């Protein structure tokens, strides 16, 4: 047993740190550190900077132009990016669809789609959930009917994060209604500029248009855009969800935001109030414990000596912690979290803040983070999965 990273890993960390410090634009990290509004340009600028270095697909194997890092190196990369105030890599392209294309796509699909994801040039969206298929994802109804060398797609996807920027969307579509719901699903790549695709932003409770409804009305999709075999899409969807084991805990971002909790609490004069301070102390323990759990999973992957069946816990705990830090920041600002000044979320806004600039985004962040225990398989679904593996039934 050894808690420390190896000398090589520490050197790797230093290299990443230096590179991020030299390449992450200050105006972007300023927004991230202060929870200000990020634009499409901000996100894509960072994606392209990473892309030029070959790190946008930071989890990719060398074979597909990735850096070929192991799980510990990936963790260190994500940590350095998070602590430096880099935006989260929009996962739909490099983290979600790319591994599926690598594992199950044809060589033609790989040559066609992977370079644009690797470079950060092509924006991908996720077409999984539907109005009637949330936690029960297997009940997707969007139909794809094969006609010659194309599919005709009809239906609606929901909760498509940042879909308003999307150029391509990977979709779970129903190609058969026979057998179990899971067996009639296919994995289809759809050009969002196709006639019949309509994207309608949905404003979330914080006032931001973060998710979308995507409608498909007789959309023609070339059959060559089917990934893998027809009706095997559920297998690929599960592969996708299992691919990122520790990233979803987002413990690195939580470490950064815990620092922000303390900064705001100091500025608001509650850091020395023992009642508030003990809540921060509790959160600090929660973050350290989660980080230890993440490190255990990473170490187990690296050694391969004994399987560690706790990855399912990471999403639950990580999301609870994300909610908690936004809650504490809200409470730290107290009454000064009340004003809703939409423009105050813009970097460089010259208007009059109420209280202090750092108060402006806090309620919105708290509202927004309610999503974390709902998306990616609600925490109730996750608990069901954990219980099933423990009870065996």
Partner 1 sequence: MDFDFTDDQDSLRDAVRRWVDKGYDFERRRGIVQRGGFSREAWSELAELGLLGLAVPEASGGMGFGAVEAMVVMEELGRGIVVEPYAAVALVAAPLLAASAAPEATRWLKDIADGSAIVVLAHQERAARYRIAHVETVATRDSAGQWLVSGTKSIVPAGDHAGAYVVPARVSGGPDDPAGIALFLVERGAGVTTRGYPTQDGACAAEVTFDRASAVELFPAGEGHAALEAAIGRGIAAVSAEAVGVMDKLVAATIEYMNTRKQFGVAIGTFQALRHRLADVKMQLELARSMSYFATLKLGEPPAQRRRALSQAKVQLGQSMRFVGQQCIQMHGGIGVTDEYIGSHYFKRLTMIELNCGDTMHHLGEVSARMQDTAGVFA
Supply the residues annotated as catalytic. Answer: 244
Number of residues that bind partner 1 (CB under 8 A): 52
Q: By CB under 8 A, is residue 5 in contact with partner 1?
A: yes
Binding positions for partner 1, 59-118, rule CB under 8 A:
72
Stretch that binds partner 1, among 103-111, 218-226, 333-341, 382-390 (CB under 8 A): 382-390
Give the nearer residue to partner 1 in terms of CB position, either 280 or 344: 280
Q: Please state the closest distance from residue 132 (CB atom) to partner 1, in A.
A: 21
- State the Cα–Cα distance between residues 156 and 141, nearest whole angstrom: 8
Taken in order 164, 167, 172, 177, is the CA torsion positive or negative?
positive
**Which of 1, 195, 307, 348 is in the footprint of partner 1 by CB under 8 A?**
1
How near is the Cβ of 306 to partner 1 at its closest, in Å? 7
Stretch that binds partner 1, among 113-121, 139-147, 187-195, 289-297 (CB under 8 A): 289-297
- Judged by DSSP in three states, 1 sits in coil
Q: Work out whether 9 is an interface residue with partner 1 (CB under 8 A).
A: yes
CA distances from 379 to 122, 285, 329 (A): 31, 21, 23
Q: Give me the least distance between CB of 20 and partner 1, in Å please.
A: 17
As a whole number of Å, the end-to-end CA separation of the chain is 34
> Which positions from 242 to 281 touch partner 1 by CB under 8 A, shown as an x/- string?
-------------x--xx--xx----------x--xx-xx
Pick the closer one to partner 1 by CB: 97 or 316: 316
- How many angstroms from the chain centroid is the CA of residue 79? 14
Contact 112, 357 (CB under 8 A): no
**Nearest-angstrom CA–CA distance, 119 and 57:** 8
CA pseudo-torsion sign 46, 47, 49, 54: positive
* Chosen residue from 27, 282, 340, 343 binding partner 1 by CB under 8 A: 282
C-beta of 62 vs 266, nearer to partner 1: 266
Of 317 and 358, nearer to partner 1 (C-beta) is 317
Task: Give the separation between CA 318 and CA 149, rounded to whole angstroms.
Answer: 44
Residues 176/183, Cβ–Cβ less than 8 Å:
yes
Kindly tell me which residue out of 288, 338, 356, 357 binds partner 1, with binding defined by CB under 8 A: 288
> Do 375 and 316 form a contact (C-beta atoms < 8 A)?
no
158 binds partner 1 (CB under 8 A): no
Among 293, 337, 360, 362, binds partner 1 (CB under 8 A): 293
Q: What burial class does residue 339 get, using C-beta atoms within 10 Å of its C-beta: 0-12 exposed, 13-18 middle, 19+ buried?
A: middle
Report the distance separating Cα 138 and Cα 185, nearest Å.
8
Is 141 in contact with 172 (CB distance < 8 Å)?
no
Only segment of 27-35, 195-203, 206-214, 282-290 that touches partner 1 (CB under 8 A) = 282-290
Question: 171 pairs with which residues across the strands?
Answer: 127, 188
152 bridge partner residues: 145, 220
Q: What x-and-dash track marks residues 299-318 binding partner 1 by CB under 8 A? A: xx-xx-xx---x--x--xx-
We find the least distance from the C-beta atom of residue 35 to partner 1, in angstroms, to be 18
Is-contact 170 100, C-beta < 8 A?
yes
Which residues contribute to the site for partner 1 (CB under 8 A)?
1-6, 9, 72, 255, 258-259, 262-263, 274, 277-278, 280-282, 284-285, 287-293, 295-296, 298-300, 302-303, 305-306, 310, 313, 316-317, 380, 382-384, 386-388, 390-393
């Amino acid at each position: 047993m050894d808690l420390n990273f190896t000398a090589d890993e520490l050197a790797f960390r230093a290299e990443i740190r230096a590179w991020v410090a030299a390449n992450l634009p200050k105006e972007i990290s300023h927004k991230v550190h202060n929870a200000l509004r990020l634009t499409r340009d901000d996100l894509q600028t960072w994606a392209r900077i990473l892309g030029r270095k070959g790190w946008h697909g930071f989890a990719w194997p060398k074979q597909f132009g990735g850096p070929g890092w192991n799980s510990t190196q990936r963790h260190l990369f994500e940590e350095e990016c998070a602590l430096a105030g880099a935006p989260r890599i929009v996962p739909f392209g490099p983290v979600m669809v790319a591994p599926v294309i690598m594992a199950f796509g044809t060589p033609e699909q790989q040559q066609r789609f992977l370079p644009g994801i690797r470079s950060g040039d092509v924006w991908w969206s996720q077409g999984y959930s539907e109005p009637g298929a949330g936690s029960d994802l297997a009940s997707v109804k969007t139909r794809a009917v094969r006609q010659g060398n194309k599919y005709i797609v009809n239906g609606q996807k929901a909760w498509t994060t940042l879909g308003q920027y999307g150029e391509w969307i990977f979709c779970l579509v129903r190609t058969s209604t026979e057998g179990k719901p899971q067996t009639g699903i296919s994995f289809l790549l759809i050009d969002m500029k196709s006639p019949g695709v309509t994207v309608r932003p949905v404003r979330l409770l914080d006032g931001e248009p973060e998710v979308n409804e995507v409608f498909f009305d007789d959309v023609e999709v070339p059959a060559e855009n089917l990934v893998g075999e027809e009706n095997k899409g559920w297998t690929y969807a599960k592969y996708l969800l299992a691919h990122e084991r520790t990233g979803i805990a987002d413990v690195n971002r939580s470490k950064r935001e815990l620092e922000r909790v303390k900064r705001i609490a100091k500025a608001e004069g509650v850091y020395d109030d023992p009642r508030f301070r003990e809540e921060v102390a509790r959160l600090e323990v929660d973050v350290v414990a989660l980080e230890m759990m993440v490190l255990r999973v990473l170490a187990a992957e690296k050694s391969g000596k004994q399987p560690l069946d706790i990855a399912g816990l990471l999403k639950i705990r990580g999301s609870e912690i994300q909610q908690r830090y936004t809650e504490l920041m809200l409470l730290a600002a107290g009454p000064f979290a009340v004003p809703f000044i939409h423009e105050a979320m813009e970097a460089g806004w010259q208007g009059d803040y109420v209280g202090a600039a750092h108060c402006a985004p806090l309620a919105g962040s708290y509202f927004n983070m309610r999503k974390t225990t709902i998306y990616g398989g609600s925490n109730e679904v996750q608990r069901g999965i954990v219980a099933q593996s423990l009870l065996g039934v």
